[in-house]
Every structure is written in structure tokens, then in C-alpha cells.
Amino acid sequence: MHIFTPSFFGGNGIVGAQVPVGAGIAFAQKYLGNNTATFALYGDGASNQGQVFEAFNMAKLWNLPAVFVCENNKYGMGTSAERSSSNTEYFTRGDKIPGIQVNGMDIIASRNAVQYARKWVTDGNGPLLMEFVTYRYGGHSMSDPGTTYRTREEVQRMRSTQDPIRGLQRNIEEWGLASEQELKQLDKEAKAEVDEAVEEAKASPEPLLKDLWTDIYYKGTEPPFMRGREREEVHHY
């Protein structure tokens, strides 16, 4: 949520607040004459926030190069999309903004859709809505077990029939790019790398207090003072 780079503007703690921020960034890109696309991602739960529709209106009014991406994984925080949204075809909710619906469990389809969306907005066609229909296996967060509003059988059925990694694996095998054995070896090596990283993290000492203020700004943009930081023998609380 708090990672920023010259082309990535982090997340937002307020549900749906990143959507108008994305519209603002798209406005800045158009104002500066940069031929770029701005992708603002939000979930099916955030799609009902008022500021999302306000951002849609301004983006279409000013013909901004913005792609509004709804990640529809069927469930918000403990609630199915059908219980919270009167219209669950989120790609149709842009009024005058055209929309496309994409199989978010298909990696190739997702890649092609993003390429299409970028070209659409950089060609001067104005904003676009893009809905990825996907599915999350776990809960929304640590406080959400993910099993109180759906059955374990549903999760297992989706995992066994729609999993995007397994789907890509089948394509790779059918296309003759790699054998089943080679892919299993890659999977084994990846798991070993993760296990090694976990053990390294467990063995690492507690971070120092000063690390709270380390790498929180992009290099070269650090302000002279950061709230709460001891600096030049002056304490700020």
C-alpha cells in the first residue's frame, strides 16, 4: 500500500479512494502531453463507493487516458457481490464509458486485455472500464477466515477447475514449451527458495527503530523533516 515509484502510486487506506487519485494522475499525464495510460485498480466491494462514480464522470468529461480496472473476485469483506451490488456486471457501470469483461483466471487473456486497454486510451479514445472476473481462495484479510459466507467445496471447485497457474501450465505443456517434469522441477525450486527466505526472515534480528523512517520516500525527494523523527538533536512528538 505504501510503495511508490515514478510509475506506481501505491494504494490507499480509504476504500475506493485510489480511483479519483488515478483520474487525477491521468489528468496530469494529459495536461503534460505524455502519451501514457493510467490504470486505477479497485475491487468489487469498492465499486459501490460514490467517489468511484465521480471519478468516472470527470474522466469521461475530460476524456482522460484512464483505465478503471475492477478486480471482481466475487466477494468483498465477508459479503458476496450479489448481496452488495444491484449490478454485478461491473464493466457496464461506467455510463458513457465503454467497458470490457476479461477472464481474470486466464493469464494470456489478461495480458491481451491490458495491451488492448492501453492502446485504447493512448489512441485518444478516452477512458475505459475493464473488469477482471477472478476468484480469491482465501479471506480478504487476516480478520476474515473466508469460509463464513461460502462453502469450502466452492473454493476447492474453483481451485481445481479455474486456477490460473494450472491453466498456464496446461497451455505450456500443450504448446510444447516445457514438459510436465520440467514444470514440476521449477515448482520445486520455487518452493525451496520461499522456504529459504522464510527461515532467513525468522533468523533475522528485530529491525532498528530508525528503520521506521528508512526508504519511505523515493530517492532524491526526501523532505528536510519527517514527523516523529529525531533530527539534529531536536525531538518531535
What confidence tens digit (pLDDT) does each residue in 110-169 have? 999 999 999 999 999 999 999 999 999 998 888 888 888 999 999 999 999 999 999 999
Confidence of residue 230 (pLDDT cuts 50, 70, 90): low
Dihedral sign (CA 170, 171, 177, 183): negative
Output the pLDDT for position 147.
Answer: 85
Q: Which of 90, 118, 149, 166 is catalytic?
A: 149
pLDDT in tens, 38-57: 999 999 999 999 999 999 99
User: Is the per-residue pLDDT at 236 higher than 50?
Assistant: no
How do 4-5 and 8-9 pair as beta strands? antiparallel
Q: In angstroms, rounded to a whole number, what is the distance separating the alpha carbons of residues 198 and 55?
A: 41
Q: In angstroms, rounded to a whole number, what is the distance separating the alpha carbons of residues 81 and 93?
A: 14
Q: Are 189 and 195 a contacting pair, CB within 8 Å? A: no
Mean per-residue pLDDT over the chain, rounded:
91
Lowest mean pLDDT across 95-99, 141-145, 233-237: 233-237
More confident position, 219 or 104? 104
Q: Which of 116, 118, 135, 140 is catalytic?
A: 140
Which pTM value belongs to this model?
A: 0.85
Q: In angstroms, rounded to a whole number, what is the distance separating the alpha carbons of residues 104 and 110?
A: 6
42 part of the active site: no
Q: In angstroms, rounded to a whole number, what is the distance separating the alpha carbons of residues 170 and 80?
A: 30
Among 63, 23, 15, residue whose Cα is nearest residue 39: 23
More confident position, 217 or 98? 98
Output the pLDDT for position 232.
Answer: 45
136 part of the active site: yes
Q: Which of 116, 118, 135, 136 is catalytic?
A: 136
90 part of the active site: no
Query: Between the CA of residue 161 and those of 76, 80, 155, what are the distances in Å?
Result: 22, 20, 10
DSSP character at residue 97: S
